Structure 1
Amino acid sequence: MEMPETELTATKRPVWNAGRTVGAKRALKPKQIWEIRFYLNQRRRLRDRALFDLAIDSKLRGCDLVQMKIGDIVSGGQIRTRAIVMQQKTGRPVQFELLPDARASLLAWLDRRGGTVDDYVFPSRVDHNGHLSTRQYARLVDEWVTGVGLMRSD
């Protein structure tokens, strides 16, 4: 009995994730976090440093991180010490503390960026009313990790 042509091609095609690590990645070690901070400071990448610090302090998923609005983290002209964000995936609120390093980098970024409490903290360069895409955020993380000499797969 002959196999249909579609079954033959399906069996010859390599699996999309062959040799790749899928799923959650290992957490960064404190030394690696400081290396990335130094890397971003050295290159004067204010937005990226604020994004990185916020990601480390909040431990949010990328989709929740890029959708944060200025009003979520600012109160009365100052960066809050604690913030609450509704997770997109679970629909549950997450409260996290913003450490002094993150508050300083966010304040510097927001001073340069400007905007109102209804604007996104990290706006898109393409869609001025939208936020940074999760795909662009992933590219930035890859750039930071490889910039300090770490493997992307780790």
Structure 2
Amino acid sequence: MHESFSDHPCRTNFPWNRDKLIGPKPPLKAKEIWSIRVRLQVAHRIRDLALFDLALDSKLRACDLVSLRVDDVALNGRIRSRATVMQRKTGRPVQFEITEQTREAVGRWLEKPDLRKGEPLFPSRINRARPMTPRQYARLLGSWLRAIGLDPLAYGTHSLRRTKGSMIYRRTGNLRAVQLLLGHTKIESTVRYLGIDVDDALPIAEQVEI
């Protein structure tokens, strides 16, 4: 089965996607990424830009992304270039890179004086001692997508989780690397998750001469 948001152990008593279209959600294209990024920059939405960039770099499930703490990504006031978190779904650690662009975005967000070590990186606006919920994150993503003319029903938080992994696979053909980056325990899960088929694999094979 495809991994979906409703599979998450952090869900509430009813599925977040009740009454919504469900199924595999496509990754974002490079031009769509830049369109969202520019709009967030122009609107000075510092938190949203940090969340968006970190979602792409980390490739984390929504419940793991919103659960990040300040010290998961920062050490002595400096943003880490790599981070490790424990996945809720698998109970296994996964590492991810934090690129320079994301470090700058997260660094600007951490300039807020009320963001301290050990506290949620993206706190709820209702209770700052708790992180925002996956549902709140999904609503934010919907607003970003609508802002660039995309239908939020056609995408989901897993679109951001898939985006960089899909790009890495298409550029390198290294499925094992993508498996490790996504924190999958089985390579078959990565194949299904990326939606890889013969049409994807053949162009990669054609680049290799023996």
TM range (shorter): 0.7 to 0.9
Alpha-carbon RMSD across the aligned residues, in angstroms, is 1.4
Shift of 1:112: 2.1
Partner of 2:123: 123
1:36 corresponds to which residue? 36
TM-score by length of 2: 0.62
Instruction: Return the offset for 1:125.
Output: 1.0
Measured after TM superposition, the shift of residue 76 of structure 1 is: 2.0
1:58 aligns with 2:51: no
**1:73 to partner: Cα distance:** 0.5
Sequence identity, in percent? 45
Residue 69 of structure 1 corresponds to which residue in structure 2? 69
Number of residue pairs aligned between Structure 1 and Structure 2: 137
In structure 1, C-alpha distance between the alignment counterparts of 2:152 and 2:128, rounded to whole Å: 30
Write the deviation string for residues 20-46 of structure 1: whole angstroms up to 9, x where unpaired.
Answer: 641231000111000000110111100
Shift of residue 117, structure 1, vs aligned partner: 1.4
Normalising by structure 1, what TM-score? 0.84
Runs (4+) of structure 1 moved beyond 6 Å?
none
Deviation at 1:51, TM superposition (A): 0.3
Structure 2 letter corresponding to 1:67 = S
Deviation at 1:113, TM superposition (A): 4.8
Contiguous gaps of at least 5 residues in structure 1: 1-15
Q: Which has the larger radius of gyration?
A: 1
Map 1:34-113 to 2 at 5 A.
34-113=34-113
Question: Counterpart of 1:40 in structure 2: which amino acid?
Answer: L
Task: Note the C-alpha offset of 1:100.
Answer: 0.7
Which residue of the partner structure matches residue 176 of structure 2? Answer: none
Task: Identify, as 1 or 2, the structure richer in helix.
Answer: 2
Post-superposition offset of 1:114? 3.8
